[in-house]
Structure 1
Amino acid sequence: MTDTQLNAYAHLLVNYCVSLRAGERLFVNSTTLAAPLVAAIQREVLKAGGHLEYSLAVEGQSEAFREYGSVEQFAYVPTLYRKGLEEFEAYLSISAPFDLRQPPAAPDLQEARRNALQPVMKSYFERTADRRLKRSLCVFPCPALAAEADMTLEEYTAFVAQATKIDQADPQAAWLEVRQRQQAVVDHLNACSEFRYVNDRTDITFTTRGRTWINSDGQTNMPSGEVYTSPEEDSVNGTIYFDYPAIRDGQTVQGVTLWVKDGEIQRWHAESGQEVLDETFAIAGTRRFGEVAVGTNYTIDRFSKNILFDEKIGGTVHMAIGQSYAQAGGKNESSVHWDLIADMKNGGRIVADGKEIYRNGHFIQELWP
């Protein structure tokens, strides 16, 4: 990234995404690859009168844990990470991996980590729900992310700049425009209660009584561009096919079909990666949905194998198994929140309270002029 891009990105993250105020503490979690961005964030934090603490993983750390770590060590939650999520006012998670294709740790080690993190993540979801913890997830362009997206580092940096709008003269103003446009959609969705997603391989229904659709305008994810909620847990019925690849713990699953009755996922099939699905659905809380959403960011113009970007692609919908969003009124609990994406650009429709509101990847003009 150029100095201009770094400064614009840092300014957006600190002043818009987490809206840091004087005296507030910001915890940043990333790797040493993101050090240039962290340095730029430090300047913005100081200008805002806040305090920055950070944890930067070093190359080889994951491999060392996988080779030498014990169950007890995998179950240890780092002190700063715990305090940052449970006590600080703001949190930035900056993805900048050294390698995305390392094999996963042994199942007992993964389970130990999941169990140890569960109370921390419960606090995290509760605190982000009412903005006691202002958080944003983002990326720093690096070779591993670029390679995963089948781009050069230069191409990937331009892709990130476009998606986050830091290539524009006033990124914050651009995201405020997104907020305004999406609010019309959210207002309509919140006036409805029965929904149906349908295309040539999907026909699934759910209800949202007592739930709130949320306008994701860049303050919790960067980039953003989606509207989402948590469905009533027992209300989901039908079949859905996810045609975009799904990645979990570095493993790719393709062509996922789920069969659902009264909120419970009763059967599942993957064209490849079936064992990953089987392992995932053995985890508590994963056989119900925690999220339903519609992607609205039409500047994300390609699939990048990064869910932070891919779930926002304009013309798609996604549903997440596992953990619900408390701020949306969801009640399902799980150590997993896994987003799965379906294309709606070729004949896809969304019906709300019996009326079509979306076709071929776009909301009707009255909602999205």
Structure 2
Amino acid sequence: MDERVSRHAEVLVEHCTGVERGDEVLIRAPSVAEDLVVALYERVGERGANATTWLRSPRAGRARARAMDADDFSTSEHRLAAMEATDVVILVQGARNRAAQCDVDPAKGSPASRARQPVLEARLDTRWVITQHPTAADAQAAERSTEAWRDTVYDAVDRDWAALRERQQRIADRLDATDEVRVSADGVDLTLDVSGMDAADDHATHNLPGGEVFTVPRLDGVDGEATFDVPVRRHGREVRNARLVFEDGRVVAHDAETGRAVLDELLATDEGASRVGELGFGTNRGITEATGRTLFDEKMGDTVHVALGDALPECVPEGVDTNESAVHVDLITDVGSGEVRFDGEVVQAGGAWWFEREA
């Protein structure tokens, strides 16, 4: 086994989730990630914890979704009960075929998302993390050789997270004290009201790799428009150059160069799917090119992402109304040639944060 797989598991168990003796650990992974699952079981065993695996099979999901009537999707009480009894969740991404579900009727995506929502909410009450196992299919999507993709993944997950946390905290502290964010770049002109919201520093606690600072806008606090030039995939379908127009926090017009139907289906999921549940700034300069994996692409330095759908609860103070939805989908744009302002003051320009320009 590649020694880097063992190191990957070590970071997940020790740094990301802090597995303890007696914990119930749930690992959701595709079969192609068996090496990482084995390494995780070893690390979990060293901690005296219990481990269970849920196999993620896009082929099986496709077969069920194609056979199922849209009205028949419902929450799995078995999965919900299992999640409610879980302390730690490790979600592993990795594909054999990135397009395995591309021929499922997009109209079934919304009811499927709504059915999963209670399980998702229960997972958010655990110590959870999402990560990536390198596969040949993902290498192909990233237009890299399999070996180069492995290097990309392992270089991104095995970093000095303490140092990155310190750097990101400077941005988070300033964002925390900000009422209005303005993002301006080619194809982007967004104003977001973040008054009273908390800012968070992701140094590989919920995402591995980490590398972002994020917050949540007010429910009606997003205006302007943006073209998201980093492609994203949903249910095996690509969305490229999605353009969204916001008024009073809601998407009032949308289009896409490719994947318009996917965007239509996403926005139709529920009332909250057309509002923003997250504003994030990518800070991981170790990720320099889009890979086709949102987990990596949203962390790229000089990018901004907004997520349509459910708001991140860690950023919302008690008693503040915020967005609720069965989806949370990040859309990403490169703003390296533009600028970001916090309460009218330029904090990022030409790809550099204020403290980097001052150094």
Q: State the TM-score, normalizing by the size of structure 1.
A: 0.90
Q: Does residue 352 of structure 1 match 2:342?
A: yes
Whether the 8 Å CA contact 1:197–1:205 is kept in 2: the answer is yes
Q: Does residue 121 of structure 1 match 2:120?
A: yes
Residue of structure 1 aligned with 2:96, choices 86, 95, 98 = 98
Partners of 1:194 and 1:84 in 2: CA distance? 41
Q: Tell me, what secondary structure is at the counterpart of 2:289?
A: coil
Pick closer, same or farther for the CA change 1:162–1:259 going to 2, 3 Å: same
Q: Tell me, what secondary structure is at the counterpart of 1:286?
A: helix
Whether the 8 Å CA contact 1:59–1:98 is kept in 2: the answer is no
Pick closer, same or farther for the CA change 1:53–1:256 going to 2, 3 Å: same
Q: Tell me, what secondary structure is at the counterpart of 1:144?
A: helix
Q: Tell me, what secondary structure is at the counterpart of 2:273?
A: coil
Q: Which residue of 2 aligns with 1:304?
A: 291
Pick closer, same or farther for the CA change 1:76–1:186 going to 2, 3 Å: closer
Q: Tell me, what secondary structure is at the counterpart of 2:115?
A: helix
Partners of 2:250 and 2:74 in 1: CA distance? 30
| Distance apart, 1:316 and its partner CA | 0.6
Q: Which residue of 1 aligns with 2:80?
A: 82
Whether the 8 Å CA contact 2:339–2:350 is kept in 1: the answer is yes
Pick closer, same or farther for the CA change 1:281–1:105 going to 2, 3 Å: same
Q: Does residue 365 of structure 1 match 2:355?
A: yes
Partners of 1:340 and 1:159 in 2: CA distance? 22
Q: Which residue of 1 aligns with 2:330?
A: 339
Pick closer, same or farther for the CA change 1:61–1:189 going to 2, 3 Å: same
| Distance apart, 1:205 and its partner CA | 0.7
Q: Which residue of 1 aligns with 2:39?
A: 40
Q: Does residue 53 of structure 1 match 2:39?
A: no
**Structure 1, 17-26 or 270-279: larger mean CA deviation:** 270-279
User: Number of matched residues?
Assistant: 353
Q: Which residue of 1 aligns with 2:213?
A: 227
- Which consecutive residues of structure 2, in runs of 5 or more, have no partner in the other structure? none
Partners of 2:343 and 2:242 in 1: CA distance? 27
Whether the 8 Å CA contact 1:31–1:58 is kept in 2: the answer is yes
Pick closer, same or farther for the CA change 1:68–1:260 going to 2, 3 Å: closer
Q: Deviations over 1:272-317 (max 9, x none)?
A: 2222222222221111100101000111121110000000001111
Partners of 2:71 and 2:54 in 1: CA distance? 21
Q: Which residue of 2 aligns with 1:140?
A: 133
Query: Which amino acid counterpart does residue 131 of structure 2 have in structure 1?
Result: C
Partners of 2:231 and 2:30 in 1: CA distance? 26
Query: Which amino acid counterpart does residue 97 of structure 1 have in structure 2?
Result: A
Pick closer, same or farther for the CA change 1:144–1:324 going to 2, 3 Å: same
Residue of structure 2 aligned with 1:273, choices 259, 280, 292 = 259
Q: Deviations over 1:102-143 (max 9, x none)?
A: 224235643442232122223334x1xxxxx11110011111
Pick closer, same or farther for the CA change 1:55–1:345 going to 2, 3 Å: same
Q: Deviations over 1:168-188 (max 9, x none)?
A: xxx4xx111111111111111
Whether the 8 Å CA contact 1:136–1:219 is kept in 2: the answer is yes
Query: Which amino acid counterpart does residue 291 of structure 1 have in structure 2?
Result: E
Partners of 1:107 and 1:164 in 2: CA distance? 33
* Percent identity over paired residues: 29
Partners of 1:140 and 1:160 in 2: CA distance? 7
| Distance apart, 1:45 and its partner CA | 0.7
Q: Deviations over 1:42-72 (max 9, x none)?
A: 1111111211111124584234324545558
Query: Which amino acid counterpart does residue 133 of structure 2 have in structure 1?
Result: F
Whether the 8 Å CA contact 2:139–2:149 is kept in 1: the answer is yes
| Distance apart, 1:73 and its partner CA | 7.2
Q: Which residue of 2 aligns with 1:130?
A: none
Partners of 1:162 and 1:306 in 2: CA distance? 15
Whether the 8 Å CA contact 2:73–2:112 is kept in 1: the answer is yes
Whether the 8 Å CA contact 2:110–2:268 is kept in 1: the answer is no
| Distance apart, 1:10 and its partner CA | 0.8
Q: Does residue 256 of structure 1 match 2:212?
A: no
- Which consecutive residues of structure 1, in runs of 5 or more, have no partner in the other structure? 128-132, 166-170
* Backbone CA RMSD of aligned residues: 2.0
**Structure 1, 231-240 or 105-114: larger mean CA deviation:** 105-114
Partners of 1:341 and 1:118 in 2: CA distance? 23
Query: Which amino acid counterpart does residue 11 of structure 1 have in structure 2?
Result: E
Q: Which residue of 2 aligns with 1:168?
A: none
